[in-house]
Amino acid sequence: MGGPLGALLAAWLLLAAGSGGAKDNILLVLTDDQDREMGGMTPMKKTTSLIGQLGATFANAFAVTPLCCPSRSSILTGRYPHNHLVRNNSLEGNCSSPAWQKFQEPFTFPVYLQRQGYQTFYAGKYLNQYGDPKAGGIQYMPPGWSYWLGLVGNSKYYNYTLSANGHEEKHGEHYEEDYLTDIITNRSLQFLEKLSHPPFLMVLAPPAAHSPWTAAPHYKSAYSSIKAPRNGSFNVHGKDKHWLIRQAKTPMSNTSIEFLDNVYRERWQTLLSVDDMVEKIFEKLKTLHLLDSTYVFYTSDHGYHTGQFSLPIDKRQLYEFDIRVPLLVRGPGVKPNQTHLQPVLNIDLGPTFLDIAGIDASQTSMDGQSFLPLLVNETHKSKWRSDFLVEYTGEGHTHQDPHCPALGPGVSQCFPDCVCEDAFNNTYACVRTLSPINLQYCEFADAQNFVEVYNLTSDPHQLFNVVKTVDPSQLEQMNQRLIKLQACSGVTCRS
Ligand SMILES: *[C@@H]1O[C@H](CO)[C@@H](O)[C@H](O)[C@H]1NC(C)=O
Ligand SMILES: *[C@@H]1O[C@H](CO)[C@@H](O)[C@H](O)[C@H]1NC(C)=O
Ligand SMILES: *[C@@H]1O[C@H](CO)[C@@H](O)[C@H](O)[C@H]1NC(C)=O
Ligand SMILES: *[C@@H]1O[C@H](CO)[C@@H](O)[C@H](O)[C@H]1NC(C)=O
Ligand SMILES: *[C@@H]1O[C@H](CO)[C@@H](O)[C@H](O)[C@H]1NC(C)=O
Ligand SMILES: *[C@@H]1O[C@H](CO)[C@@H](O)[C@H](O)[C@H]1NC(C)=O
Ligand SMILES: *[C@@H]1O[C@H](CO)[C@@H](O)[C@H](O)[C@H]1NC(C)=O
Ligand SMILES: *[C@@H]1O[C@H](CO)[C@@H](O)[C@H](O)[C@H]1NC(C)=O
Ligand SMILES: *[C@@H]1O[C@H](CO)[C@@H](O)[C@H](O)[C@H]1NC(C)=O
Ligand SMILES: *[C@@H]1O[C@H](CO)[C@@H](O)[C@H](O)[C@H]1NC(C)=O
């Protein structure tokens, strides 16, 4: 049934369901590899004013793991990696694997929301191995989505395949027809136009600012004089850090610096199309009178670095630049221009969405907690955490890299200049405490059981590992807290 009568009936059915009347809509814009610490939000002028200035900015938002697939799996499940068991970006590490599909995906936030009457829409990059023939191919649609437009594989801007509700949709390299960020924008506008009745959940996951950093034609000359920032730990040798950081070459070669400056600029260029996406969707929500009943979240899967501790480009490290993410929220009851300092995690997004939909996330297996009370200033209703866990399993190759004959096996991401950004033994777990002390304590699962400790109050750029000078009883305390968090599940992660 269509038309006004149909809409009326649908609205009546929704009320008659007795679940508390009309629910608010949810829109999540999830970017790829967008940092907060290195100026990653600078290109997002419209986004910052539409969401941040008309809503809330979380100044201490973190990913619990700094790699795409594990982090996205944490967002979807609201769980730490030790509970969802997605360890890296490959099928063997459970990225979109059959085991993930069987044991974790049925408990992702869209499943709960769809059951609660939400029309759900996903467009863009999902999990890095999505669409692999060994994981069901493009016919496979993850549960919980009424409309599915999933990118096969990792981020791309042109020459990619989408699964459109399980059907193959191939794209070439013509800007007007194929640019992925714009495809996501256009399809989401169509979804909103055709929406028969709210509430809806939309997740838009553009490829920006991930490699291969292909900007839209009209943005290719933007920021022509921009270079990566030289402040903080740029081109600084991490002399007292674990072996992977010590192998980086300081000073970096001029070709490496030129390379990372280009990447820095191209990342910003790709983000300009995301800024346009946000503006267009806001205009559409306004036209359709949906803006006042929609919560909009803007965040990234993890951070990024360009030259910090002489690591040319990547993520995967425990430092602030890789684990901090932007997080902006606006919506019903959220006052404009608010800045929140409580530590909010990517595993809190799912519980927050459930909370908006009237579902009690503490009854699920999610490890995170809803930050809706912070947004609508009912802080007294929730005790907030003061610390959390960051955990990461390093990726390596079992064979030597032919381009870097001096390096043994076990490492990966050794480009440019044969500086490796990851290794099997770059496997670590950290407690990050924000109050009453601002501290990070990390243990490596490597041959040295290496420990790094940072006092972020005196040393915001993490230049000095204070493991040898900090009070031993403090180390003991942090070690005990780490052991507890590494074994936590559900409620024990929240307390
Ligand atoms: C370095 O400078 C950039 C750009 O001006 C700024 O956004 C960033 O916060 C600074 N970072 C550090 C580590 O001081
Ligand atoms: C938010 O803050 C900005 C910058 O201080 C200001 O220009 C703007 O008017 C404020 N917006 C609202 C809605 O209060
Ligand atoms: C992948 O997930 C399955 C089931 O969730 C688990 O049994 C397996 O150990 C996981 N693999 C890794 C490498 O953690
Ligand atoms: C897309 O694929 C075509 C044909 O293989 C190739 O010539 C072109 O360079 C590719 N373009 C991009 C942007 O990857
Ligand atoms: C998106 O829609 C606009 C406006 O209709 C159109 O000009 C553009 O070519 C479309 N882009 C893609 C990639 O489909
Ligand atoms: C590298 O760049 C610096 C600063 O621009 C310059 O002084 C130096 O000569 C360059 N080195 C080489 C080997 O080109
Ligand atoms: C929350 O409410 C308290 C007391 O009413 C007020 O002092 C505080 O500024 C508000 N905080 C936010 C983030 O709105
Ligand atoms: C990913 O994790 C699996 C399971 O632990 C491991 O076998 C595989 O080597 C890892 N992949 C990489 C690239 O490190
Ligand atoms: C870590 O692994 C690399 C590569 O396999 C090896 O060269 C290095 O000695 C190891 N370091 C530690 C501390 O385990
Ligand atoms: C961290 O540094 C601050 C400022 O120098 C100092 O007051 C505090 O005691 C330090 N904390 C620890 C745990 O060392």
Which residues lie with the beta carbon below 6 Å from any ligand 10 atom? 437, 439, 455, 457-458, 470, 474
Report if residue 351 sits inside a domain: yes
- How confident is the model at residue 67, as a pLDDT? 98
Which residue's C-alpha comes closest to atom 3 of ligand 9?
410
Integer Cα distance of 241 and 463 in angstroms: 9
Nearest by Cα to 178 from 145, 211, 214 = 214
> Which ligand 5 atom sits closest to the C-alpha of 180?
13
Query: Chain-wide mean pLDDT for the chain?
Result: 95
- How confident is the model at residue 2, as a pLDDT? 44
The answer on pLDDT for 317 being more than 60 is yes
Nearest by Cα to 182 from 72, 289, 247, 279 = 279
> Which ligand 7 atom sits closest to the C-alpha of 56?
13
- How confident is the model at residue 462, as a pLDDT? 98
Q: Is 414 a catalytic residue?
A: no
Which DSSP category does 49 fall into?
I
Instruction: Decide: 398 in ligand 8 pocket, CB within 6 A.
Output: no
Integer Cα distance of 454 and 466 in angstroms: 6
pLDDT interval class at 190 (50, 70, 90): very high
Q: At what angle are helices 254-287 and 180-194 packed, to 10 degrees?
A: 10
Which residues lie with the beta carbon below 6 Å from any ligand 7 atom? 335, 338, 377
- How confident is the model at residue 19, as a pLDDT? 43
Beta bridge partners of 168: 163
Which residue's C-alpha comes closest to atom 4 of ligand 3?
99
- How confident is the model at residue 218, as a pLDDT? 98
Residue 44 is part of which domain span? 22-380
Pocket test for ligand 7, best of 341, 342, 377, 378 (most atoms within 8 A of CB): 377
> Which ligand 3 atom sits closest to the C-alpha of 103?
5
The answer on pLDDT for 1 being more than 90 is no
Beta bridge partners of 444: 428
Instruction: Decide: 90 in ligand 8 pocket, CB within 6 A.
Output: yes
Report if residue 391 sits inside a domain: no
Going from the Cα of 327 to the center of ligand 7, the distance in angstroms, rounded, reads 20
Question: Is-contact 245 311, C-beta < 8 A?
Answer: yes
Which residue's C-alpha comes closest to atom 9 of ligand 3?
85
Report if residue 371 sits inside a domain: yes
The answer on pLDDT for 6 being more than 60 is no
- How confident is the model at residue 15, as a pLDDT? 44
Instruction: Identify the nearest ligand to the CA of 101 by its number.
Output: 3
Report if residue 319 sits inside a domain: yes
- How confident is the model at residue 378, as a pLDDT? 72
Report if residue 222 sits inside a domain: yes
> Which ligand 5 atom sits closest to the C-alpha of 178?
13
- Token duo for residue 150: 């999933």
Q: What percent of the chain has pLDDT over 90?
A: 93
Instruction: Decide: 404 in ligand 9 pocket, CB within 6 A.
Output: no
Number of domains present in the structure of the chain: 1
CATH, residue 338: 3.40.720.10
Report if residue 433 sits inside a domain: no
Pocket test for ligand 9, best of 446, 450, 451 (most atoms within 8 A of CB): 446
Nearest by Cα to 444 from 474, 422, 418, 472 = 422
Going from the Cα of 81 to the center of ligand 4, the distance in angstroms, rounded, reads 36
- How confident is the model at residue 495, as a pLDDT? 77
Instruction: Identify the nearest ligand to the CA of 187 by its number.
Output: 5
- How confident is the model at residue 382, as a pLDDT? 65
The answer on pLDDT for 417 being more than 90 is yes
Token look-up 């999990």 returns 127
Mean pLDDT of 212-223: 98
In tens, the pLDDT along 89-116 reads: 999 999 999 999 999 999 999 999 999 9
In tens, the pLDDT along 479-491 reads: 999 999 999 999 9
> Which ligand 10 atom sits closest to the C-alpha of 466?
14
In tens, the pLDDT along 443-467 reads: 999 999 999 999 999 999 999 999 9
- How confident is the model at residue 381, as a pLDDT? 59
**CA distances for 359 relative to 77, 80, 112, 346, angstroms:** 15, 20, 8, 18
In tens, the pLDDT along 324-344 reads: 999 999 999 999 999 999 999
Going from the Cα of 454 to the center of ligand 10, the distance in angstroms, rounded, reads 10
In tens, the pLDDT along 42-62 reads: 999 999 999 999 999 999 999
- Token duo for residue 184: 């996501």
Report if residue 12 sits inside a domain: no
In tens, the pLDDT along 368-397 reads: 999 999 999 776 656 899 999 999 999 999
Going from the Cα of 261 to the center of ligand 1, the distance in angstroms, rounded, reads 15
Pocket test for ligand 4, best of 170, 173, 178 (most atoms within 8 A of CB): 173
DSSP tally for the chain: helices H, then strands E: 15, 20
**What phi and psi values does residue 37 have, to the nearest 5 degrees?**
-80, -25
Nearest by Cα to 286 from 387, 416, 192, 372 = 192
Instruction: Decide: 158 in ligand 4 pocket, CB within 6 A.
Output: yes
Token look-up 């794209």 returns 171
Instruction: Please pick, among 68, 95, 430, 442, the residue that the annotation labels catalytic.
Output: 68
pLDDT interval class at 493 (50, 70, 90): very high
Report if residue 105 sits inside a domain: yes
Instruction: Decide: 334 in ligand 2 pocket, CB within 6 A.
Output: no
